[in-house]
Structure 1
Amino acid sequence: MSIRYTMRQLEYLVAVGEAGGIVAAAQQVNVTAPSISAGISHLENELGVQLFVRHHAQGLTPTLAGRKLLDHAQMVLRQAAALRDLAGELSGQVRGPLAIGCLSTFAQVVLPGLRRSFVADYPEVISQLEADQPELFSLLRQARIDVALTYDLNLPADLKFFPMLELPPLVAVAPDHPFADRAEVSVEELAPLPLVLLDLPLSADYFLSFFAQKSLRANIAERTRDMAVARSLVANGFGYSIFNIRPLNDLAPDGQPLRFIPLAGHPRPMKMGMLMNTSLDRSSLHKAFLDAAKAWISTNSGRITGGRIQGSKAGKQP
């Protein structure tokens, strides 16, 4: 008797195995929870084994058979993707879905425009996910995303980084701050003043390293994981902050103005680029997206950096 199942049902199986529950898996693959549940039940009936143990209000746990079949399902899906890529190369077409991860601090500035330019040439299914740096590493290793746009922060050896744009750190202050009209400001001058720290994994260590290198300690007055909140706190006088991405209009989200000043001493800039898993072969789609990202970021570098650096001679933007 033949066993009948679809590739989509295998995707449901893998999603449930990774997410640990029906609802989370449904969000991951963008279908309804009943569709996931029906797909898993169909697979169990067709294969004649129980794939998951159902826990009331605690998700699902793979059985021993389920774990073995999960490994094979992932292999089948990878082979199917390779077959699709090979067909695309033979036909001269770039095809297939692409899952993009992006560092949450600059996703709003980069990802929508980049996606729009890419789908204009390759109208395939693209999904996106915003996360912090450690989460992006994990998502790449789990093959839940194909590529990640991020910074060169604490990059592990098993992931390959393609740098695209350097972003030096900038000090953000309110217009009435004593340093607002300065051409640059040093770490020594900043150390005693209240800092609004963008407290994201790895990013916070990067900002605080400027002080540690001078044997200084930053005076952290506020912490937030949201860049928009940090900008509004700064604009309302709660302290200064340090960013690598500058808004084009120099306004906080609540409409209050900001000033951006270069940090003196040539501190290490962040490098924005593309991160990929070195254990997986890059498909023609991955290569096309990498090339498209390089071109788009190069063309829009002024928008990403917020244009020219504002110092004492730059004045207010019109």
Structure 2
Amino acid sequence: MSVSIKAMQYFLAAAEQGSIVKAAKGLNVVPSAVSNAIDMVETAFGLQLVQRFPAKGITLTAPGSVVIQKIRNLVDDYELLLQQGTELKTALSGHISVGYYAPVASAFIPSIFAPMLKTNPGIRLKLTETDNEAVQDRLLAGEFDLIIFVANNIRAGIVHQKLIEAPPYVLVSAKHRLADQAFVTPDDLSNEPMVLLDLPMTSDYYRNVFAGTDVTSQIVVQANTHEMVRSLVGKNIGFSILNMRPETAATYSGDQVVARPLKARAQALELAVGHTGGKQRRLAQAFIDATIGHFDQQVARRLITALK
């Protein structure tokens, strides 16, 4: 015969109080409920665990003294499990994994998460950069709690919210002939050497910026990291077309680059935060809310270069 945790809790309360009536009062139940629970526990073990004395209460038998410690350990483990489950759902502590595919992510992700990490020392954050397709697949596979990604060809099962629209802009060396212009047109770039950010989706996107025009640009370098592209442009090897920019105009190699709006009919990239829907852990929801809140602020506009 099985016995419930509740019956063991009632038995434990009566044994510790030495009284069925006192235990019932503390548990806010009728005495018969406690008496029945004692009967259930004794039946489950096949032993007499307590002696009952009318008007005097109860005392443990010799077998009861052995069994009660095991029951106490079991009830303690059960209550600890419930407590840990509640903390997992409500406390800003624990591990969280965030995947991202975002231009210049290092320019904004630290600003989003640093305040939470400073005020909640129990958080353990893992950040993983990957491409736009893989970041979605790994979210659906359960590797990430949330993702920051470009809202393009979104996988079924991903709930997303737009963070910002980032139109394409032209990046040139501070020494380039276009650096002093207020904006750049596709015609300005005709026959100019180009440094292409060569990543899944982005390379086709940047090539399509010139679709429908007579402009031809010669791709002289392809690089698959944002900062390598910036550093090559800084050496005045050619221009590049990007969508988001860091706060600094200096490259890793110390050269200065200039971002200029591109006056063209080109689609902006939409940056989004995504998750798998449903009720989120409090920690995951806090990270989602912090990400959305950051991009609601004017400071996030400094990440893009757009025509005024």
**TM-score for the superposition, normalised by structure 1:** 0.63
| Deviation per residue, 1:68-124 (Å, 9 max, x gap) | xxxxxxxxxxxxxxx88962488x534432101122632211222222122234442
Q: Does structure 1 residue 107 correspond to structure 2 residue 105?
A: yes
The amino acid across from 1:119 in the alignment is L
Alignment of 1:140-155 (within 5 A): 140-155=139-154
How far apart are residue 272 of structure 1 and its match?
A: 2.0
- The question of whether the paired residues in 2 share the 8 Å contact of 1:104 and 1:131 is answered with no
Closer, same or farther: CA 89–143 of 1 in aligned 2, 3 Å: closer
Look up the match of 1:192: 191
Look up the match of 2:291: 293
How far apart are residue 201 of structure 1 and its match?
A: 0.8
Look up the match of 2:136: 137
The amino acid across from 2:95 in the alignment is P
- The question of whether the paired residues in 2 share the 8 Å contact of 1:194 and 1:220 is answered with yes
Structure whose CA Rg is larger: 2
SS in 1 for 2:209: helix
Closer, same or farther: CA 88–189 of 1 in aligned 2, 3 Å: same
Alignment coverage as a number of residue pairs: 225
How far apart are residue 199 of structure 1 and its match?
A: 0.3
Q: Does structure 1 residue 282 correspond to structure 2 residue 280?
A: yes
SS in 2 for 1:211: coil
- The question of whether the paired residues in 2 share the 8 Å contact of 1:191 and 1:217 is answered with yes
Look up the match of 2:114: 116
The amino acid across from 2:229 in the alignment is A
Look up the match of 1:56: none
How far apart are residue 293 of structure 1 and its match?
A: 1.1
SS in 1 for 2:133: helix
SS in 2 for 1:139: helix
Considering only aligned residues, what root-mean-square deviation do their CA atoms show, in Å? 2.7
- The question of whether the paired residues in 1 share the 8 Å contact of 2:168 and 2:268 is answered with yes
Q: Partners of 1:289 and 1:212 in 2: how far apart? A: 38
| Deviation per residue, 1:138-162 (Å, 9 max, x gap) | 2112211111112223322332221
Q: Partners of 1:93 and 1:231 in 2: how far apart? A: 41
Alignment of 1:31-180 (within 5 A): 87-88=86-87, 92-103=90-101, 105-122=103-120, 123-180=122-179
The amino acid across from 1:290 in the alignment is I
| Deviation per residue, 1:148-199 (Å, 9 max, x gap) | 1122233223322211122221100112322211121122332421110000
Give the gaps of 5 or more residues in structure 2: 1-81
How far apart are residue 309 of structure 1 and its match?
A: 6.3
- The question of whether the paired residues in 1 share the 8 Å contact of 2:93 and 2:124 is answered with no
Query: Structure 1 stretch 296-305 or stretch 95-104: which is displaced more?
Result: 296-305
Q: Partners of 2:84 and 2:294 in 1: how far apart? A: 24
